[in-house]
């Protein structure tokens, strides 16, 4: 019986240790949850970086003593992707994503979003997509020199896996080089504060929908000589303002709120969109 208890204690110790290893508590500040981030390791000597997929359009390059991954498209409208799935350790609530990239000979495809991009998508234990996931990191211009990119974002509750999908998305032609790709747990405080600020800004610019009510509409205008006259025969002076940036920002989120404030608080009777 004494032997059995020792045996049981030994395996309990192993299980507890394994549980801690899989949590965020023991991750060092620079530990990436993406294995072989530097694309250097090839422990099985198969001439391919460990943990990285082999697929058409992918190559393991060597240049000036450095190894890196290359995505290359030579067929118009084809998809070249280095797809990986990464376990999200327990207790990780935010990630800092950084990498080096180089883009050469790139020609976009037939759509504006047919370019070089990296997609990240979180999934729960049932492999259902979670929101929010980061927006695509998209690049449509050539950059022949290596450049470093870095972004941080919150991990949605219940996330078990993150899909990592760098790709040449239906481009005509081009090369996309990647190296030193890390996903490192980071602090949530600044990200949560930024999220609260965005929520408050959205709340302040929100205008509730309402049914048209002609009783609130201004009187119709017509021109007499060089004057504007309303239906009651009164002369009207125009007091106008420019509500927003629809000339350059066709998806401006605040134009309706700007118009309401201009009319109700600034007494404008003409709003230029």
Both 167 and 42 in one domain: the answer is yes
Q: Copy the structure tokens of residue 57.
A: 């359009």
241 within a domain of the structure (yes/no): yes
For 131-183, how does the pLDDT look when each residue is reduced to its tens digit (9 = 90+)? 989 999 999 999 999 999 999 999 999 999 999 999 999 999 999 999 999 99
14 within a domain of the structure (yes/no): no
Both 162 and 228 in one domain: the answer is no
Both 31 and 165 in one domain: the answer is yes
The radius of gyration computed from the CA coordinates of the chain, to the nearest angstrom, equals: 28
Residue range 28-54: average pLDDT?
A: 91
Number of domain units in the chain: 2
Instruction: Say which CATH number the domain at 161 has.
Output: 2.60.120.260
Both 151 and 42 in one domain: the answer is yes
Partners of 60 in the β-ladder? 69
Both 221 and 132 in one domain: the answer is no
For 169-181, how does the pLDDT look when each residue is reduced to its tens digit (9 = 90+)? 999 999 999 999 9
Cβ neighbours for 14, distance < 8 A, ≥ 6 positions apart: none
List the one residue out of 174, 177, 167 whose CA is nearest residue 106. 174
Both 179 and 225 in one domain: the answer is no
- pLDDT band at residue 80 using 50, 70 and 90 as cut-offs: very high
Percent of the chain with pLDDT over 90: 68
Both 165 and 246 in one domain: the answer is no
8 within a domain of the structure (yes/no): no
For 2-24, how does the pLDDT look when each residue is reduced to its tens digit (9 = 90+)? 434 443 333 333 333 333 334 54
230 within a domain of the structure (yes/no): yes
249 within a domain of the structure (yes/no): yes
Which own/partner contact pairs does 209-217 have at CB distance under 8 Å and 24+ positions apart? none
204 within a domain of the structure (yes/no): no
Which own/partner contact pairs does 250-253 have at CB distance under 8 Å and 24+ positions apart? 253/202, 253/205
Both 68 and 133 in one domain: the answer is yes
Both 56 and 175 in one domain: the answer is yes
CA 223/CA 241 separation, integer angstroms: 21
CA 77/CA 168 separation, integer angstroms: 9
Q: Copy the structure tokens of residue 244.
A: 């927003």
Q: Which domain holds residue 223?
A: 213-272
Both 142 and 103 in one domain: the answer is yes
Q: Give the Å distances, CA to CA, from 63 to 97, 105, 158.
A: 24, 18, 41
Both 170 and 251 in one domain: the answer is no
21 within a domain of the structure (yes/no): no
71 within a domain of the structure (yes/no): yes
Both 59 and 163 in one domain: the answer is yes
Conformational region of residue 148, where left means phi above 0, alpha means psi within -120 to 50, and beta covers everything else: beta
pTM of the model: 0.71
């Amino acid at each position: 019986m004494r032997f059995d208890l020792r045996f049981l204690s030994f395996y309990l110790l192993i299980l507890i240790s394994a549980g801690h290893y899989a949590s965020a508590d023991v991750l060092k500040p620079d530990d990436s949850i993406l294995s072989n981030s530097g694309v250097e390791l090839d422990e099985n000597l198969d001439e391919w970086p460990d943990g990285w997929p082999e697929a058409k359009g992918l190559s393991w390059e060597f240049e000036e003593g450095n190894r890196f991954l290359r995505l290359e498209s030579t067929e118009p409208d084809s998809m070249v992707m280095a797809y990986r799935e990464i376990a999200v350790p327990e207790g990780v609530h935010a990630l800092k994503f950084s990498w080096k990239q180089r883009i050469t000979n790139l020609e976009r495809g037939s759509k504006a979003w047919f370019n070089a991009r990296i997609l990240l998508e979180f999934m729960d234990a049932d492999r259902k997509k979670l929101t929010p996931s980061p927006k695509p990191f998209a690049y449509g211009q050539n950059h022949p020199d290596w450049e470093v990119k870095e972004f941080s974002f919150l991990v949605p509750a219940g996330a078990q896996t993150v899909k990592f999908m760098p790709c040449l998305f239906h481009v005509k032609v081009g090369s996309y080089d990647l190296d030193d790709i890390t996903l490192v747990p980071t602090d949530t405080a600044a990200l949560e504060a930024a999220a609260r600020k965005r929520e408050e800004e959205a709340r302040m610019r929100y205008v509730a929908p309402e049914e048209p009510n002609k009783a609130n509409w201004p009187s119709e205008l017509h021109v007499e000589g060089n004057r504007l006259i309303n239906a009651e025969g009164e002369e009207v002076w125009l007091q106008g303002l420019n509500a927003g940036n629809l000339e350059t920002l066709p998806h401006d989120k605040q134009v309706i709120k700007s118009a309401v404030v201009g009319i109700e608080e600034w007494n404008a009777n003409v709003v230029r969109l």
